[in-house]
Structure 1
């Protein structure tokens, strides 16, 4: 019985060529070569270690069988490696040095055999030859990666779809939308603009058993994938390009920050069917950005809140915004209502008013739906329900975009220096992003206007989550004033102590 070795086979066809090949044929050929090598050298093969579709050049790629091979070498389960060539084992000098350390400290006969010849890692010459070959393989991979990156960027500038796995929402090839997934995305975007949380959209998709092309077999879609899908610029036709080195270093990135632009500053448009408009895409992205927290607490302008009327409800004594709190567990109030609204002294209030939450919310909902029903009847087709603040923000946003276009024209005409142009564009882009977020936050009822918007809200109200209901309340109601309950007598809910102040 000869020295016990581990055979190693690896190939990285899948995802590199994008032609449907699975790399199995190449791995099978390598296995045959290893078996012939072991047989010809009278070695004993412990087992084959195989990493199919895994690069030996990319630093962040985890190769499970390679790691197991190294572990078995360290623990003397095996005393050598047999492979087709050394570049099948590694193309990274740091991994080779790890193997050299194992071979240099081993107190047993060791073998490093390939069909191109052996490497004696216990000698200076053997280590030099191995290092030289791995360095050459590393340089070859780096050059190939650079050529591929240039080709991919050129294709991106031409507006060609990304190769490889299909994107969620599109059929294989990336040009035609997949109807069911496209409608799922559209509904998800509408719901987000109407106040629904990403976690709620994710829960709905999981309940439907949705999985993405990137989901592991048998698993439903992840939360991060839903976020990535809803904000993907390819939805509105924009072409993004992220260098491979950035993908490997940062993982999944915000593609909205990697949009390709033409010389005139306009975005590169892809050659595929779109699922939403650029305005809708930007609105969803801006709303989700506005909801992100910064440290403890919530960012100013967020639509995220636990209760429907938190701080919309106002104390009838001091006018301060009211907060929610849970009744003491085990009490009758807890069993019936669960929570209540109160004016907090700790938040600067008088502390003199509190009221059970569900009855107040139900009353506000009924009055709001009645108000919207009347609006639907009285509104003319196409008449806008937008508030003045939203109309003004839209006008300002249109002016900023016009100013950006004019700045580019002046730069092309040579009337703007490069430094002046960069400063002005950066200022305008900051203002545009600020106004886009404001428009998206105010535009809670979505793209529809007039009677159709009010009718839709009334019709779909029963399906709205608390954040969605809150968004509509904020859209039409300035405040819900809760007046102090008179002392003594019956403490049943009294609608006359609730005053709704409508936005003008």
Structure 2
């Protein structure tokens, strides 16, 4: 009875040559060769296992059909392999050793047939020949990968266009795609006004926005949206990521891989930029700052749900109020859902609590009324710096001064080493956080009080909660909620809510 084998075909042209070939022609030729080989060797073909556009050299590449081939060998569904050459099956010694183990443990006739000859993996000579050929193929692939990487790095240093499919935002010739570029610029503007990346992603999904890498029938992913709006290519900067880093890291921060010339200036690409370097850096810094800050958020998330988070303060002790949900099923839960409270567990006095939505509605109305007065007051037409930016710069200057003082004290021997190391670490971390905050706030630039108010009034209905809170942060220092007397009428009292303006 003829031995039942699995035919294997593989090619990895796609994405490497950049010439539009899909690799199917090469796979078809290999399948024809396998069928001829099976007929000449009087074997029986169980099925063809095909991995198109997949490398047998790169360790992290998953080849689904190769895995099925190995599984079927282990399960004794098939008793051998037929391929054009052994390097089509694998170029990794570790994968070959897995196959050798299966052949050595087999208690049945096995075959490893190729058009260049058979490999008897049950004998020392056969295993030696297979190992030698795979090691040579591995070395050939490593040398080729090194040459390709060197060429790609040289092209990148010259600012040449990326080969292959154009990224989201551009046409194949490097010119900006008007529709996609407009989406990116709007996303940038919204993010700098406080909108969350998740909200941008949700908008894109609703608009059925898809990148060229989005699989058919799928929505654009959150990760892809993040890559698109933070891609250094947007402002013309050229990036080069070594293949080893891509395989090792998975998710990448492309801003870490900017190419620079010998004078320290960034390498600029040949394509049309979509935004300025300042705008790109501001968006990157804002998104990084949100990830690093946990204020008002659950651990591990960048989402803050409440409008007065970080602004609501207790009128008794001055502590920050926390938002809490009412007990499900109660009247308060049905009417309001959540409330703000001064919690002893959070260091407060525990003496103040108030239903959330009525307070937020009041503060929003008071805020918009103030914006209308500012918009109508011509005296605020002089350019002004965002007060939050002024405060952040002052804090950063103070931290830099403390760092300089600590280093001076260390040099004179007045600061013990252990204490110095602990303090300088704290100050460096605070400096990094403040530098990001200053950069992100600086992105808003100089804006008159009048124009800021006019913009807020004009766009308010389209603002999300994070965007509204960002507007509050510019003008409101705190919202102080005074204690309401117990007993009697529990109607909402606006007179116990004080907005403290900056």
Q: Conserved in 2, the CA contact under 8 Å of 1:305 and 1:467?
A: yes
Equivalent residue number for residue 415 of structure 1:
none
Equivalent residue number for residue 147 of structure 2:
147
Match of 2:81, SS?
A: strand
Match of 2:180, SS?
A: helix
Residue pairs, 1:237-252, within 5 angstroms: 237-252=236-251
Equivalent residue number for residue 423 of structure 1:
none
Match of 1:10, SS?
A: strand
Q: CA deviation at 1:434?
A: 4.8
Work out the CA distance in 2 between the residues paired with 1:213 and 1:391.
42
Residue pairs, 1:247-286, within 5 angstroms: 247-286=246-285
Q: CA deviation at 1:211?
A: 2.1
Equivalent residue number for residue 41 of structure 2:
41
Equivalent residue number for residue 499 of structure 1:
498
Q: Conserved in 1, the CA contact under 8 Å of 2:90 and 2:134?
A: yes
Q: CA deviation at 1:208?
A: 1.7
- C-alpha distance 157-83 of structure 1, shift in aligned 2 (>3 A): same
Work out the CA distance in 2 between the residues paired with 1:297 and 1:485.
25
Q: Conserved in 2, the CA contact under 8 Å of 1:445 and 1:472?
A: no
- C-alpha distance 440-472 of structure 1, shift in aligned 2 (>3 A): farther
Residue pairs, 1:141-290, within 5 angstroms: 141-173=141-173, 175-290=174-289
Gap regions ≥5 residues in structure 1 = 399-428
- C-alpha distance 278-180 of structure 1, shift in aligned 2 (>3 A): same
Equivalent residue number for residue 411 of structure 2:
none
Q: CA deviation at 1:295?
A: 9.1
Equivalent residue number for residue 102 of structure 1:
102
- C-alpha distance 316-441 of structure 1, shift in aligned 2 (>3 A): farther
- C-alpha distance 359-294 of structure 1, shift in aligned 2 (>3 A): closer
Equivalent residue number for residue 291 of structure 2:
292
Q: CA deviation at 1:441?
A: 4.5
Work out the CA distance in 2 between the residues paired with 1:65 and 1:379.
71
Q: Conserved in 2, the CA contact under 8 Å of 1:196 and 1:468?
A: yes
Q: Conserved in 1, the CA contact under 8 Å of 2:238 and 2:258?
A: yes
Work out the CA distance in 1 between the residues paired with 2:187 and 2:447.
16
Equivalent residue number for residue 483 of structure 2:
484
Match of 1:118, SS?
A: coil
- C-alpha distance 487-127 of structure 1, shift in aligned 2 (>3 A): closer
Q: CA deviation at 1:472?
A: 1.1
Equivalent residue number for residue 342 of structure 1:
341
Deviation larger for 154-163 or 48-57: 154-163
Structure-2-length-normalised TM-score? 0.87
Equivalent residue number for residue 314 of structure 1:
313
Q: CA deviation at 1:430?
A: 9.1
Q: Conserved in 1, the CA contact under 8 Å of 2:278 and 2:443?
A: no
Instruction: List per-residue Cα deviations over 1:9-29 (Å, max 9, x = no partner).
Output: 100011101111100000001
Q: Conserved in 2, the CA contact under 8 Å of 1:442 and 1:475?
A: no
Aligned length: 471
Q: Conserved in 1, the CA contact under 8 Å of 2:57 and 2:90?
A: yes
Gap regions ≥5 residues in structure 2 = 398-427
Equivalent residue number for residue 472 of structure 2:
473
Structure-1-length-normalised TM-score? 0.87
Equivalent residue number for residue 132 of structure 1:
132
Instruction: List per-residue Cα deviations over 1:334-355 (Å, max 9, x = no partner).
Output: 1111111112222222222221
Work out the CA distance in 1 between the residues paired with 2:255 and 2:452.
29
Residue pairs, 1:72-111, within 5 angstroms: 72-111=72-111
Equivalent residue number for residue 62 of structure 1:
62
Match of 1:65, SS?
A: helix
- C-alpha distance 320-446 of structure 1, shift in aligned 2 (>3 A): same
Q: Conserved in 1, the CA contact under 8 Å of 2:238 and 2:259?
A: yes
2:319 aligned with 1:326: no
Equivalent residue number for residue 21 of structure 2:
21
Match of 2:313, SS?
A: strand
Equivalent residue number for residue 426 of structure 1:
none
2:466 aligned with 1:460: no
Q: Conserved in 2, the CA contact under 8 Å of 1:380 and 1:450?
A: no
Q: Conserved in 2, the CA contact under 8 Å of 1:104 and 1:121?
A: yes
- C-alpha distance 430-261 of structure 1, shift in aligned 2 (>3 A): farther
Work out the CA distance in 1 between the residues paired with 2:220 and 2:456.
29
Work out the CA distance in 2 between the residues paired with 1:170 and 1:395.
41
Q: Conserved in 2, the CA contact under 8 Å of 1:313 and 1:322?
A: yes
Match of 1:292, SS?
A: helix
Q: CA deviation at 1:474?
A: 1.1
Q: CA deviation at 1:275?
A: 1.8
Match of 2:252, SS?
A: coil
Q: CA deviation at 1:31?
A: 0.6
Work out the CA distance in 2 between the residues paired with 1:489 and 1:443.
50
Work out the CA distance in 1 between the residues paired with 2:287 and 2:209.
22
Match of 2:376, SS?
A: helix
Q: Conserved in 1, the CA contact under 8 Å of 2:195 and 2:464?
A: yes
